[in-house]
Structure 1
Amino acid sequence: MSGQLRNQINMTYDSAEDRILIRATDQGREYRAWWTRRLALRMSNLFVEQEFPTENSDSHLAPDQRQVLGDMEKQGAIQSADFDTPFEEAAIDFYPLGEEGILIQRIDVKIDGKVVKLVMLPADGEGLTLTLPPSQRYSFEHMLHQVMQAADWHLAATLPVTEPVDIITH
């Protein structure tokens, strides 16, 4: 086995906890974070309502043309994403946030150029930042919607996104 681990993100619904477990790997480390239904709904709504940067954000196209191009980009990224490769659990040797993970209380969304950073913070202690270029953000959003459907958390329910999510643009 090579010493190199591919970075992966995985989401699963835990019915006993009634929460989503997000697992992200980075160089042999696994970070685990739990999202409640309320937080997942707010983030899902934010992905729909907020205009995030795309690969074509800096173009001189009209807004409606950028929207169409962004939709095509999203569809292409989801179609080319690898959702079939199993999460590599055997390669993990360290859990910086603990093997049980942390319960996320707040998410700060930072936009840095075309990259979206999800800064997930617990009530106390260290948090986790996911850095998502457009194609990975599309995949993350798609996985979130898939796991919410599996959990039977109705995506049509709308909650205000103002309380636990802060958008910070650089």
Structure 2
Amino acid sequence: MQIHQMSVTYMPEQDRILMRINTVEGEEMRMWLTRRLMVGLWPLLSKLLTEHLLKLESAGASLSGATPELKKMLAEFRKEEFLQHADFDTPYKEGEHRLPLGEDPLLVTDVDAAPIASGPLRLNFNERPPNGDTKPRSFQMEMQPKLMQGLMHLLDQALLQSQWRESFVPVTATENAAVEDGEGRPKYLN
């Protein structure tokens, strides 16, 4: 399967993120991503992509003596480089696509993610219904780092729109102290 386009949209009425992937072959995979799933998935994908970029980078040069700050800076540089060459302006192609997963989007309950030595990152999206009445569905794809960074960018935009991202970041001790001292009282505007 070769990915042609991706779309990631926060749907406020569902309070879910709809991820759509269409392929060169004319298929479309639709998946719902919930807040609960993203709380664990976002940090995992961020970590895997950074580690994978560093591994690919170190294949050309030795990073064994590099500080963690230098490694992080190098990974961020690589991510920015990928984003500069990405096409986020072309609208997602709506239309008649074959739907191998069915009309209803896959309600993703868990994701298996693993880097492959040859370069891509393998993602397996699973829907495991709570009752045994419905057959589990899944979808697997492999993404090169450039495409994975594009997906991360789209997910980041959807997370900002959903306002879920704030809960992914732990509150610092100074912020806790400010709230306890009354400095962090909520303010309301008319």
Same fold (TM over 0.5): yes
* 1:97-112 pair list within 5 angstroms: 97-112=101-116
- Normalised to the residue count of structure 1, the TM-score between the two structures is 0.80
> 1:7 aligned to 2:4?
yes
> 1:25 aligned to 2:26?
no
Would you say the 8 A contact 1:29–1:93 is kept in 2?
yes
Change (3 A) 1:57 1:108: farther
Runs of 4 or more off by more than 6 Å in structure 1? Answer: none
What is the aligned partner in structure 2 of residue 44 from structure 1? 42
Q: Is there any run of 5+ residues in structure 2 with no aligned partner, and where?
A: 129-134, 171-190
Larger radius of gyration: 2
User: One-letter code of the match for 1:30?
Assistant: E
What is the aligned partner in structure 1 of residue 63 from structure 2? 61
Q: Is there any run of 5+ residues in structure 1 with no aligned partner, and where?
A: 160-170
What is the aligned partner in structure 1 of residue 181 from structure 2? none
Q: How many positions carry a matched residue from both structures?
A: 154
> 1:95 aligned to 2:92?
no
User: One-letter code of the match for 2:114?
Assistant: K
Root-mean-square deviation (CA, aligned residues, Å) is 2.1
- Name the SS of the counterpart of 1:7 in structure 2: strand
Report the identity percentage: 27
Structure 1 CA distance for aligned equivalents of residues 111 and 168 of structure 2: 19
Deviation at 1:158, TM superposition (A): 4.8
- Structure with higher helix content: 2
Structure 1 CA distance for aligned equivalents of residues 51 and 169 of structure 2: 19
Would you say the 8 A contact 2:127–2:136 is kept in 1?
yes
Question: Please, which moves more after superposition, 149-158 or 76-85?
Answer: 149-158
- Name the SS of the counterpart of 1:8 in structure 2: strand
Would you say the 8 A contact 1:44–1:155 is kept in 2?
no
